[in-house]
Chain A
Amino acid sequence: MAKYWHVIGVGIQNNLTYRFNFLARTLFGFIPLIAVLYVWLTIYSGKGQGAMVGSYTLAGMISYYLLTTIVDALTAVNEDDWQIAADIKDGNISQFLLKPIDYLIYRLCLFFSGRLTYLAVAAVPLAVFVFCLRKYFVLPPNGITFGAFLLSVILTALLQFFISYALAMLAFWVLEVSTFIFIVFAFEYIASGHLFPLDILPPGLAQVLYFTPFPYQLYFPVTVYMGKVEGVELGKGLVVQLAWVLAAYALARFMWQRGIKKYSAVGG
C-alpha cells in the first residue's frame, strides 16, 4: 500500500505545477455558467412570478447548475484519459509491466491526487461564486441526504475514471483516440445532465436515458443532494450506480488484458 501513497504524493506535486492552469480553467468555466444562468433567469422572468420549469423553481434551477459545477470539480477526469493513451502510444507502460505495480491503481492514485489539487485551487473561487448566489442556493433537506450525496459523489468519480480508462485503452488498437473520447463525451455531456436537468425532458426520453450509465456520471448525485430521490428510490439508485461502477471496472480490466496481448512497445 505504501507505494501507492507515494504515487499520490508525487501526483500532487506534479499537479501543483499546473495550479495556474487549474485556476484559469475554473475562472473561464464560470463564464458559460453565468451565461446559462442568465438565459434561465430571462426565461423565468418571461413566465412571470412564481413560474416553474418542470419541477424547478428559479432557485431550484440555479442550484442545479451550481451543484453540477461542484460535482464536476469533484469528479471529472482532467487529462487522465489523454495521459493514459499517450503512455500506451509512447510505450511508457512497459516499465509498469516489469514493476510490481498495478497500472490501473497507479492511474487511480494519480486521478485522486489530480482531483485533490484541482479542488485546492478551485475551492476558493467556487465558494465565492456560490456565496454570491446564496439566496438561490438550496441546502440538502437533512443529514442522511447529504451522506447519500457524498457516497454517490465517490461512486460518480469512480465511474468517470473507469469509463475514461476503458476508453483510453483504445490506444492499443488505434493511433488516435481523441475522436472516440469526444464522441463518448458528447453523449455524456447531454445525457449526464450537464446542459440541463434531465427531468425537464419529455418523460419517455428521460426514462430511456436512465438505462444508460450517463445520468450516474453527474445527474444522479445532484438530484440526491436536492432531495429529489428518497427512501427506496434512493437505495435503488445507489445500487444501480454501484453496478455501473463495477461494470465499468470490469470493462477497464478486460480492455487492458486484451490490449496488453496486442501491445508491442514500439521504440520502447
Chain B
Amino acid sequence: MTKPSHSNPTGAPGSPEPNPQTPSLGGLSSAGGWSRYPRIYAALWRNSVTREMIFKSNFLLWIVVELLWFGLQLSFIGVLYLHTDHIGTWTKWEVILLIGASHFIQQIFQAFFLINCTNLSELVRTGKLDFLLLLPVNTRFVVSLRQVDLGAFVNAVSAVGVMVYAARQMHLVPTALQVVAFLLLCLAGIVIHYSLMFLLASISFWTVKAQGIVWGYYNLFQIARLPDEAFRGVFKAIFTFAIPMLLVTNVPVRLLVNKLSSPGPLLLLLVMSVACFLVSEWGWRASLKRYTSASS
C-alpha cells in the first residue's frame, strides 16, 4: 500500500494534454455577471466531450480499470465477512452499501474536479496559469472545472447499482426524504474532498513537486470507505475533526440505514464541509499571491 501512484487508477500520466486555449470563451462579454457562468461551463463540457471522443478506446479502458478496482474493494469486504458477521455493529450489506456510497462520492468528485486539481501543479510549473488569470472570469472557477471526466459518471452508475443491490439484500426501503437527505450529505462530502484536494494542489505554488502530495490524498479515500466504528483514539479524532474522512461517507450511509442515534454527526458533516471550503479559499488566495509565472 505504499504505492499511491499505482493504487489510483485515474488521471495518471498520459491523459491527453489539456490545451488551455481550447475553451471558446472569446464571444462572452465580461459584463454578464454570474448569469454567464452556466454558458461558460457548457462550453467547457463540449470541449471535454470532444476530447474524450478522440481517444475512445482509452476512454473505455479507463472505465474497465475503475470497475476492476471497485470490484477489488468489494471482494476485500467479502473476504473479511467470511470470517466475521460484524465489524463493530456494521453488518456485511451495510458495509457494502458504504463501499458503494464511497465509490459514488469519489466518482462524482472525480468527474468534476480531480483532473483539474492534479493539473494545477502543471499549470504553475509551465506558467500556463497566466492565460487563465487573464480571463474575465473567477480564476478558481475555471481552474477547478476546466475539464470534465465523463467516464467517472459511468462508474458512478455502477456504484449506484451496488448500493441498490445491497439495500435490497437488507430489505431496506428508504423514504424519499431519506434519499434526498442522503444526496445532500453526499454533496457535502464531495465539497470536502474537493476543498482538501484543492488546498493540497495549491501547495504547488510553494513547491513545484506537489504532484506527489496530491496523489497522497488518494490514500485518504481508502479510509472514507471503512466503517467509522473500527477507529478509536487520536486516529479517529484526526480523521473526524481535522481531515473529516470518517464523516464523508459514514454519515450519509448511517442516515440511509437508520443507524444515526442523534443529528450530531449530520450537523458536523455540514459544518465541516463549509469549514473545509473556507479554508481552501483562504489557502488558494494566499498561494496565488506567491505566483510569479514561469520564465518563458
Contacts and interface: CB of A to CB of B under 8 A. Distances in A.
Interface in B258-274: none
B230 A42 contact: yes
Interface stretch (B3-11, B42-50, B275-283): B3-11
Interface string A18-48: 1011001110110111111011011100110
B186 interface: no
A21 B121 CA distance: 15
Interface string B52-79: 0001001001101100110010011001
A186 interface: yes
Interface in B109-154: none
Nearest to B75: A190
Interface string B185-205: 000000000000000000000
B87 interface: yes
Given A24-B212, A34-B235, A82-B13, A196 B79 contact: yes
Given A24-B213, A31-B220, A183-B64, A73 B235 contact: no
Given A25-B212, A186-B9, A39 B223 contact: no
A24 B84 CA distance: 34
Q: 6 tightest CB-CB pairs across the interface, nearest first?
A: A28-B216, A29-B2, A179-B61, A21-B212, A32-B222, A186-B68
A9 interface: no
A183 B222 CA distance: 19
Interface of B: 1-7, 9, 12-14, 55, 58, 61-62, 64-65, 68-69, 72, 75-76, 79-80, 82-84, 86-88, 207, 209, 212-213, 216, 219-220, 222-223, 226-227, 229-232, 235
A35 B223 contact: yes
A194 interface: yes
A42 B4 contact: no
B233 to A, nearest CB: 9
Nearest to B87: A42
Nearest to B66: A182
Interface string A55-84: 000000000000011001100101100100
B1 A183 contact: no
A68 B2 CA distance: 10
A42 B227 CA distance: 10
Given A47-B84, A176-B58, A25 B2 contact: yes
A160 to B, nearest CB: 11
Interface of A: 18, 20-21, 24-26, 28-29, 31-36, 38-39, 41-43, 46-47, 53-54, 68-69, 72-73, 76, 78-79, 82, 86, 122, 176-183, 185-187, 189-190, 194-196, 200-202
Given A35-B226, A176-B14, A202 B82 contact: yes
Nearest to A27: B216
A42 B229 contact: yes
A60 to B, nearest CB: 13
Contacts of B69: 182, 186
B2 A69 contact: yes
A91 to B, nearest CB: 16
Residue of A31, A36, A183 contacting most chain B CB atoms (<10 Å): A31
B79 A201 contact: yes
A82 B12 CA distance: 10
Contacts of B65: 179, 182-183, 186
Contacts of A201: 79, 82
A189 B72 contact: yes
A33 B212 CA distance: 18
A54 B83 CA distance: 8
Nearest to B60: A179
Contact of A189 (B7, B14, B213, B223): B7
Contacts of A176: 14, 55, 58, 61
Contacts of B68: 182-183, 186-187
Given A38-B235, A42-B87, A43-B84, A186 B72 contact: yes
Contact of A32 (B9, B209, B223): B223
Contact of A24 (B61, B216, B227): B216
B72 A195 contact: yes
B98 to A, nearest CB: 12
B83 A76 contact: no
Contact of B87 (A33, A39, A122, A180): A39
Contacts of B6: 181-182, 185
A165 to B, nearest CB: 15
B80 A179 contact: no
Given A76-B3, A182-B9, A43 B209 contact: no
Nearest to B73: A195
9 contacts: A24-B213, A29-B219, A31-B219, A32-B219, A32-B223, A39-B230, A68-B1, A176-B61, A183-B64
